[in-house]
A and B are shown apart, each in its own frame.
Chain A
Amino acid sequence: MRISLLCLSLVVGLAALPVMADDMPRPTGDAVLTVSGQIEHANVEQAAVFDMAMLETLPERSFETTTLWTEGKTSFAGVALADVLEAIGAEKGVIRASAINDYTVEIPVDSVSATAPIIAYEMNGEPMSRRQKGPLWIVYPYDSDAEFRTEVVYSRSIWQLDRMEIVQ
């Protein structure tokens, strides 16, 4: 029932959006990330749906940092959020990022830099399972700058990410 409600709202939302070209390659594997809203490129019903292979075609970024939620130094690898935004043609507005348990945070596009945050898909060289905050986790290099050790950034560090919506 929840699913149907969700589907309904999606359909209503999409109907209101301007028609976009489905000019992105379609996902072939399981979808891991769905981006909707004010985007220029889409592949499935005006949304940009990524499987893991598609994410891996984007440049890989990695760093080491400690986090509040892990023990000791942890290395992360993934794609820069900025690269994803560029791939879908989102230049402004706010990203509403949601987790599989519907936890949602807002990240202004302006706050996204070329290197931080990343959408991590590997932790310590291993893919992350859902039980380990996987498969995708928005991670900042917390150790590199005090700017990344704030309440706001911690709250934006959303794990078990599965969808994003770009809104104005």
Chain B
Amino acid sequence: MPLGDLLPEITLLVGAVIIVLFASFASHERQIWAAGLALAALALAAVFSLMQWQQPPALTFSGVWALDTAAVAAKLLILLTGAIAVALSPDWMRSDRRHGEYYALCLFTLLGVIMMASAHDSMELVVGILLSSTASYPLVAYHRGFKPALEAGMKYFLIGALTNSLLVIGVVLLFGLVGDTDYARTMEVLAASSDGAPLALSVAVACIVLGLTFKLAAFPGHAWMPDVAQGAPAPVAALLTVAPKIGAAVALARFVSLLPESQSWPLIVALIAVITMTLGNLAALKQTDVRRLLGWSSVSQSGYALMAVVVIGAEPQALGALLAFLAAYALANLAAFAVVTHLRGRTALPDYHGLGRTQPIATAVLILALLSLTGIPPLVGFFGKFLLFKVTIAGGYGWLAVIAAINTVLSLFYYLRVIAVMMFKPLEGEVHVLGRWSWLAMLVSVILLLVASLGAEGGLALMDAMRLAG
């Protein structure tokens, strides 16, 4: 067995196990060391992933596991997301009696998400989705005494249970049709069959895509996202608005690439993209709760990301555009949630009035993050969106780009509302901040955002190297 190919994942697994053991024996004051252990595991996993970058695209473990640039890039992004979410947590969780285990759950979630991004086999995909789901349900409801958190956790769990079972049904159907779960074999069989059993295949595809929309927070599996963003602990919200989206987007890109043209999947994905971005933006317009607003904005951003999946077969650069957009989104959204966390999770819009006067740095970070999410140049979000528009137009979906542009204007409205109250309204009440860890994490996230904006060239050169194996 080529165990070396799984070094990053094994590192995460071992790290999580060590943390669980450590947390069972350490005293409450020492539980915070688990954060350090988690960061070390993430860093080590990142190093191992970097070592995989240079290898040619390949499949390993009898073809169920992809080792290609797309998987490695997604892995690195997911690990980075995890690192920032973990760094945001110690101050937030300090008084929680189960502080240590929290980090183990974070690592398990990340492991599941990474499996989604690398899976080259439908069973493998199921395992990844289930692992990331089960590990993140308790994270959302970690504050048991807090009603909104319980509600969010329950909603997340119920929607997850429904979509995950649909996913399994879809995978089983596909297995029945093809006789194998391996992607390479699936593609061969589907391409060879002249009639392709359209109805059964369509049902299977619909179920699998539905299962993935849950992790993507795209329509129709999106309903948990605003509640989780609002009710879950803020660092968990940062993690869950970003990481699963990256894994699911890459998984979806891999999966639709297998399908024969008779399934007309680009049109279906395009429709999902349109509905997702429009719904997310329309719902965000009326929000008076910043975290909920960020949740809905995260839904709409999934819609944009799907634009790249639509043209994944038609445009060679679509995969690069997808990952560039996801990276830009991840950096901006992490920075935004880092600010929310640093401000002790303050969430109602009126609480942000006049924040610019007492918290200039946090305000500046949030403004940069929101402008990047809108896609104002020269922030990195602009390059992400620009590439999306470019591949969509070049792939013959100009109308989709127009709809996305209209949606971007819509989104500007609610992002600006937050910016406007911070800058233009008088200050109300006192502002409390969390602590040094969250301050540092916030700073790191904004520095990453700015570096990515200025170093767009380097990033884009990497994106050109994106390939799917197989």
Partners in one complex: no
Residues of chain B at the chain A interface (Cβ within 8 Å):
none
